[in-house]
């Protein structure tokens, strides 16, 4: 489920010169996971909250410390469905090809 989303994200992020710079899994915390990609001027973080079943996309400038929400998606009991994946990928595309960071 999450791996399919990550593959699709990598296909979008790599041509924009983003590299995966951090990944941490928390198996004892309901399988929660955090992945961070860095580009020249921006950083993107995906957090899978395994307990409350949320996927959260956040971004910040490379020289910043405050994360801003790009998108948050509730994941059902059966995992991330096709619609949820498409919604998250559309949010990623808006962030990548739009203004860069969400409005504060």
The answer as to whether 8 is a domain residue is yes
Q: Which residues are CB-neighbours of 8 under 8 A, at least 6 positions away? A: 85, 89
pLDDT in tens, the chain (104 residues): 678 899 999 999 999 999 999 999 876 666 788 999 999 999 999 998 878 889 999 999 999 999 999 999 988 766 788 888 999 999 999 999 885 555 44
Strands 54-61 and 42-49: antiparallel
The answer as to whether 103 is a domain residue is no
**How far is residue 54's CA from residue 32's CA, in Å, rounded to a whole number?**
10
The number of domains in the chain is 1
The model's pTM is 0.86
Enclosing domain of residue 46: 2-97
The answer as to whether 42 is a domain residue is yes
The answer as to whether 14 is a domain residue is yes
What element of type H or E holds 50?
Answer: none
The answer as to whether 50 is a domain residue is yes
The answer as to whether 104 is a domain residue is no
């Amino acid at each position: 489920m999450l791996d399919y989303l990550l593959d699709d994200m990598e296909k979008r992020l790599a041509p924009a010169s983003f590299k995966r710079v951090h990944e941490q899994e928390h198996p004892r915390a309901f399988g929660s996971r955090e992945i961070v990609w860095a580009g020249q001027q921006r950083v993107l973080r995906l957090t899978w909250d395994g307990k409350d079943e949320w996927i959260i996309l956040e971004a910040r400038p490379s020289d910043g410390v405050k994360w801003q929400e790009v998108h948050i998606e509730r994941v059902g009991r059966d995992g991330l469905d096709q619609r949820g994946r498409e919604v998250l990928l559309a949010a990623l595309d808006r962030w990548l090809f739009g203004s860069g960071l969400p409005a504060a």
